[in-house]
Amino acid sequence: MNPLTYPPATRWRFTAMASGVQKIGELELSWELPNDWITDDYLPEEISAQELLEQWLKWLWATKSFSEELGAPHIPIRWMVRGRDSATAEAAPPVTPQDQRPNFTTYYTTPERENNDEPVNWLRLPVTDKLWRAGRADKGGFIQEATGFKPAALAPTFDLRVLAAAGIDWNDPSG
């Protein structure tokens, strides 16, 4: 286990600001990349993670869905804080000062460990594994399944050049 990541069963206490209702449960970070929802039209038995990755890369280059600040080959990562045993799902707190979207701390108090009142260190929350295999068809799971890549907690972008480490040609397929 990574000592820099909270243990999986760590429970957090936080309160909804609008209602005052307190929640207690496990929290994790979930990541999304542009168009990773292409998995919605398939099952792992119908298309491989590698085939979906190829479709996704073609779409990225065709639509130029890169980071506004950094450009190609940087893809923005959207982060969510999700409760494993509750209906909680909100955008993660901002990574950069430019990101002023409503987020978890807009709607809830800062989570504290249930057993010792320690405030959460957002960077230590576990990052969800997203997979694409029989019995596990996660949205965007083809990326981790085909490449082994999973972003570090709250990383703002995904650099396509890391795909070269997995032997994948990340360059624009149109030339």
d(CA 159, CA 70): 10
Residue 1 pLDDT exceeds 60: no
User: Which pLDDT belongs to residue 98?
Assistant: 75
75 in Cβ contact with 160 (< 8 Å): yes
User: Which pLDDT belongs to residue 143?
Assistant: 94
Residue 107 pLDDT exceeds 50: yes
* DSSP letter string, 151-163: PPTT-SEEEGGGG
Q: Where are the beta strands (DSSP E) in 101-164?
A: 112-113, 132-133, 136-137, 157-159
d(CA 76, CA 57): 14
User: Which pLDDT belongs to residue 172?
Assistant: 87
Residue 40 pLDDT exceeds 70: yes
User: Could you read off the pLDDT of 128-161 as tens digits, one per residue?
Assistant: 999 999 999 999 999 999 999 999 999 999 999 9
Residue 2 pLDDT exceeds 60: no
Write the burial class of residue 163 (CB in 10 Å: 0-12 exposed, 13-18 middle, 19+ buried).
buried
- Percent of the chain topping pLDDT 70: 97
CA 56 to chain centre: 16
114 in Cβ contact with 24 (< 8 Å): yes
Residues 57-77 have a mean pLDDT of: 92
